[in-house]
Chain A
Amino acid sequence: MIWTALTALLSHWRSNRLQFFAMVAGLALATALWSGVQAINAEARASYDAAAATLGEGQFDQLLPRSGDRMEQATYIDLRRAGWQVSPVLEGRLRTDDGPVRLVGLEPLTAPGTIAPVGMQEGTNLDDFLTRGVLFAAPDVADALTASLSQRVITDPSVAPGVALTDIGVVQTLLDAEAQLSRLILAPTQPMGLTDLASLAPELVRQPAQDTGADRLTDSFHLNLTAFGLLSFAVGIFIVHGTISLAFEQRRSMVRTLRALGVPLNLLIGLMISELILFALVAGGVGVALGYVIAAVLLPNVAATLQGLYGASVAGTLQLRPEWWLSGLAIAVLGTAFAASGALWKIAQMPLLASARPRAWAVASGETARRLGAVAGLLFVTGIGIAVWGQGLTLAFALLACLLIGAALILPLLLRSAVTLADRQARSAMWQWFWADTRQQVPGMSLALMALLLATAANVGVSTMVSSFRVTFVDFLDQRLAPELFIRIDDPAQSADVEAILLSEAREVLPLLSVETAITAVPTDLFGVRVGPTYRENWVFLDETADVWDRVEEGRATVVSEQLARRAGLWTDDPVTVAPGLTLPIAAIVADYGNPLGQALISETLFRSLYPDMQPLSFGIRTDDPSALRTLLTEDHGLPDTAITDQSRIKAFSLGVFERTFTVTGALNVLTLAVAAFAILMSLLTLASIRVPQLAPAWALGLTRRRLGQLELLRAVVLALVTTVLAIPLGLLLAWVLLSYVNVEAFGWKLPLYLFPGHYALLTLFALLAAALAALWPALRLARTPPSDLLKVFANDR
């Protein structure tokens, strides 16, 4: 009996292949986007986790030098002798023939639990690590290290990309930093009765766990991606929900017949659930495979994006991680369950002898729309509450969620109102019928239209954010890269000679002096600048006091970046300790987009008195004739051509990094819009068959099939147009939240919002095109409906 009943149930799909395709394809597409995004996220997260695990970054409090980037090893011994459970770390860049490698030196015996290299637990013993110098290197740098070091190098994929881990003593030798340390990791539990750290080591600052910044920066990007993943999955679920509801409606008579023949209701429900789980698994599997392809195509871009933006490394290879393909399958099954629960409930509640006639699917119910509108109102109020009182990245995303879901839920109400408004303007009977019929369609199409709304809004929002960022960034580059030429030399001994040559040839020479340090525990580049016309004329500040450059030039003030100011909780006129024993007021705040490090500027004279051994290795040069100067420098003064870069090349490089940043976002936008179009297509196709009885009278009254088809197309475009028009303000709101809430929370700086009307027009056009394309086939089918089918409606009048 089970087999027979199952065959009967499955026969429905055999005679409704389109429905079957819509269900499987919708589910597969949704899963694909979801799992693709998850794959990228999981891959990137795994890289960070490896980095965090191996470096102790974020997990533990750390002690950093108050200024500079090195501390004495004696400080470590003093703290240990005072009872503090700290573990030393020394890090730095080692030059190899294939570029620099970040070396991290640990002390495995005192390092808190989880931060030693994973590989150490397998194979190599601690003896070798401690006494012979073994390096655990990420795969991308292992060969370079093997070639340039005498120590044994073990490739370990759990080590963060670009990094090699080894014993602290080995790093001290390799970096020529005898008895020097970078920082100390504080064990989470400390003995009782310790002397205060501030009195034991006043030259160190304690940096709380989880505050290294990189986590939050990259988290924002991942949250962004996850939001897109969820959005596209939601769009897919709309499709599946629609398909399953319709299929179950159409199978009501079959269910009644089977039950009348003696198949128990529970068995039937069970069979239907198994059937759906099977479909979900198959579609989910296809989706996961597609997702892998999406991730594989996008991952190099993601890696480039994160590296360019945040300096965080992601290995460029994709691994099949169980967490994302399992999550893909799980979400496919859960999504199906969610989509089917209502339909199954109705079947379960259906009386045995009830009329099996498919109910008109699209019952025009203003009640539902109003209920959804009320929920949306509630969400909006919550959102406003968050916007006014909320703080933190999570709440910022909660605000986004309130906005988007609220907007989706209020859509049917707005569509109905728009259509009603149009109806009132209609003069002829045909148009009155058209609008009334459109209103009738709204509930049936609202899921697909919600999908379109979300896709378009996300597109508008993210495009606005990206483009605003871009405009700001280009201005910023123009300001920062004002010098026409940049000279870079390798040998500090040549510095003075090169500068003398440049001074004799150029209008203005700007030596670039900088040192990596930490100011109030924020990792910062401290610059010494030669204040001249270039700085005075080109630099635009976010906030400034009087005579900024005069005061900086005289060594009486400093200029800091917005990131440093926000993270340190400082603003103009606040005093800040830029180096040991040197506290200066902040004269101005300057924007420094995309840089995770802080920046502080002091005068060249002051810088040189602080770091007398530091020689500038780069110079910016102002000249009216860059190419002539370039020739002069290379041919007459023997500077290698590669040492000279012109501004346009640096700008192009910087812009290139930035462009890659949002390629992924763009690609996901297009995919999301495509899924929304698919949703429209499927709702129209499924509606079409039910709508024949409603269209037949219009045909009988004289409307040609061709005209009916045109009206169908028009209807889809009109609904899409209203939706898209609503999506634009929603998208702008989304962008505003991203720029003024999410960005500040995640990145530490605020971006101005720019509007791009041309872009939105183009997007509207794309959305309409997508809707029209989606409606074309159903409209054509309608136009070609055989008159006999339309006549049958009257013949079989029920």
Chain B
Amino acid sequence: MIVRVIAILLWLPFQAAAQGFAGLGTDAEGFAVPTPNPVFDFPQDHGAHPEYRIEWWYLTANLTGPDGTAYGVQWTLFRSALAPETRDGWSDPQIWFAHAALTSPDRHLVAERIARGGVGQAGVTVQPFAAWIDDWQMAGPSFEDMRLTARGTDFAYDLNLQATGPLVFHGDNGFSVKSAQGQASYYYSQPFFEVSGTLTLPDGNIPVTGTAWLDREWSSQPLAETQSGWDWFSLSFDTGDKLMGFLLREDTGAFFSSATWIAPDGTTTAYPDGAFSAQPLDWHSVAGRDVPIRWAVQLPDKGIDVTVTALNPDAWMALSIPYWEGPILIDGSHTGRGYLEMTGYE
């Protein structure tokens, strides 16, 4: 999920202009760099790591309404540091921003927020846990028991999150490699949230239940210069197994892949480059570009050979930095639901 980093840095358009797309986030000057064999310290590590350039609290949820309609919800808080430190007041170099989305089969509503650190407008505290920007927040007595809220001009949601399983660490115990050159991040997830709550759409409130997947990741130089975009999959099978897999696309057409298999009890199997694969099957034109909205996904080691299809092909995040992100339905060797994120499609 480190692949999402480009969104963060591109979000600030001046940096995009200055550096171009692929080179973003490749420079770790002055910032700490992830090293292998991390030892995490919770709940402290649920909080911010200002000595690293980028970090996020990234939640996606697959929900169902009373009539069986499928919905998707995204809530993401990003931290992007201009310098590896924090200061009180407006001179704090930490910048926070957030994306929220609510997707139904025929609607995709989005909103974004941006704020400076140091003045209380946005931030993360660990005990009790709270991650917030303006009135959007993910907070509760603990990381396992939280309330999630966000709203835009035409939608809102208010969801309760209860963790029913352990944290899951990707890569080598949370050290997740992103390229053949060795770029890496710290990456763990809580994929076992049970969700209940209310969605507010322009036509009214809808009570929903479902599951959510929360990603935590931080790094300073996650991408290689030659990487131009990514496709990230989080799949929750009806068997209770889960799969996280991504492709980092190279300029040359080659790609770097990585995956984590998560058993229902939370035990993981990490897969190196090449084990996980995905091929576009159907393309859809959205916001003036073609994006694959049906994929063939394989992880032969676990007998996974499925087709994933976007619930709403128009789940385009038309924000300051645009990308595609939305719920997917799984069919084939296994069935289930999940989320797909795609960037770098011009």
Contact assessment for B14 and A126 in the assembled complex, using a CB-CB cutoff below 8 Å: yes
A190 at the interface (CB under 8 A from B): yes
Q: How large is the interface on A (under 10, 10 to 19, 20 to 34, 35 or more residues)?
A: 20 to 34
Closest chain B CB from A772 CB (angstroms): 68
B111 at the interface (CB under 8 A from A): yes
Contact assessment for B83 and A191 in the assembled complex, using a CB-CB cutoff below 8 Å: no
Partner of A169, one of B91, B111, B114, B134: B91
Q: Report Cα–Cα, A205/B154, bound state, in Å.
A: 26
Q: Chain B residues near A172: list those with CB within 8 A.
A: 89-90
Contact assessment for B12 and A130 in the assembled complex, using a CB-CB cutoff below 8 Å: no
Q: Which residues of chain B (147-167) have a CB below 8 Å from chain A?
A: 151-156
Closest chain A CB from B149 CB (angstroms): 10
Q: Which residues of chain A (114-163) have a CB below 8 Å from chain B?
A: 120-121, 125-127, 130-131
Contact assessment for B151 and A192 in the assembled complex, using a CB-CB cutoff below 8 Å: yes
B18 at the interface (CB under 8 A from A): yes
Contact assessment for B156 and A192 in the assembled complex, using a CB-CB cutoff below 8 Å: yes
B116 at the interface (CB under 8 A from A): yes
With contacts A130-B82, A191-B156, A192-B156 taken as known, whether A81 is within 8 angstroms of B89 at the C-beta atoms is no
With contacts A77-B120, A130-B82 taken as known, whether A168 is within 8 angstroms of B156 at the C-beta atoms is no
Contact assessment for A110 and B135 in the assembled complex, using a CB-CB cutoff below 8 Å: no
Closest chain B CB from A121 CB (angstroms): 7
Closest chain A CB from B81 CB (angstroms): 10
B121 at the interface (CB under 8 A from A): yes
Contact assessment for B153 and A126 in the assembled complex, using a CB-CB cutoff below 8 Å: no
Partner of A191, one of B14, B111, B116, B119: B111
Closest chain A CB from B87 CB (angstroms): 8
B183 at the interface (CB under 8 A from A): no
Which of A85, A168, A169 has most B Cβ within 10 Å? A169
B200 at the interface (CB under 8 A from A): yes
Q: Report Cα–Cα, A107/B200, bound state, in Å.
A: 31
A536 at the interface (CB under 8 A from B): no
A11 at the interface (CB under 8 A from B): no
Q: Mark B1-38, 1 if CB is under 8 A from A, else 0.
A: 00000000000101100100000000000000000000
Q: Report Cα–Cα, A189/B134, bound state, in Å.
A: 15
Q: Report Cα–Cα, A519/B155, bound state, in Å.
A: 37
Q: Report Cα–Cα, A172/B132, bound state, in Å.
A: 25
Q: How large is the interface on B (under 10, 10 to 19, 20 to 34, 35 or more residues)?
A: 20 to 34
Contact assessment for B90 and A192 in the assembled complex, using a CB-CB cutoff below 8 Å: no
B115 at the interface (CB under 8 A from A): yes
Closest chain B CB from A646 CB (angstroms): 47
Which of A85, A120, A125 has most B Cβ within 10 Å? A125
A193 at the interface (CB under 8 A from B): yes
B321 at the interface (CB under 8 A from A): no
Closest chain A CB from B215 CB (angstroms): 24
With contacts A80-B134, A81-B134, A130-B82 taken as known, whether A192 is within 8 angstroms of B152 at the C-beta atoms is yes
Q: Chain A residues near B91: list those with CB within 8 A.
A: 130-131, 169
Q: Which residues of chain A (177-225) have a CB below 8 Å from chain B?
A: 178, 189-193
Closest chain A CB from B80 CB (angstroms): 11
Contact assessment for A109 and B120 in the assembled complex, using a CB-CB cutoff below 8 Å: no
- The residue on B at minimum CB distance from A133 is B91
Closest chain A CB from B207 CB (angstroms): 17
Contact assessment for A121 and B121 in the assembled complex, using a CB-CB cutoff below 8 Å: no
Q: Chain A residues near B93: list those with CB within 8 A.
A: 127, 130-131
Contact assessment for B90 and A168 in the assembled complex, using a CB-CB cutoff below 8 Å: yes
Contact assessment for B153 and A191 in the assembled complex, using a CB-CB cutoff below 8 Å: yes
| Pairs across A and B, CB under 8 Å, 28 listed | A77-B120, A80-B121, A80-B134, A81-B132, A81-B135, A82-B135, A83-B134, A107-B90, A107-B116, A109-B114, A110-B115, A120-B14, A121-B14, A125-B14, A126-B12, A126-B15, A127-B82, A127-B93, A130-B91, A130-B93, A168-B90, A178-B89, A189-B153, A191-B135, A192-B152, A192-B154, A192-B200, A193-B200
Chain A residues with CB under 8 Å of chain B are 73, 77, 80-83, 85, 107, 109-110, 120-121, 125-127, 130-131, 167-170, 172, 178, 189-193
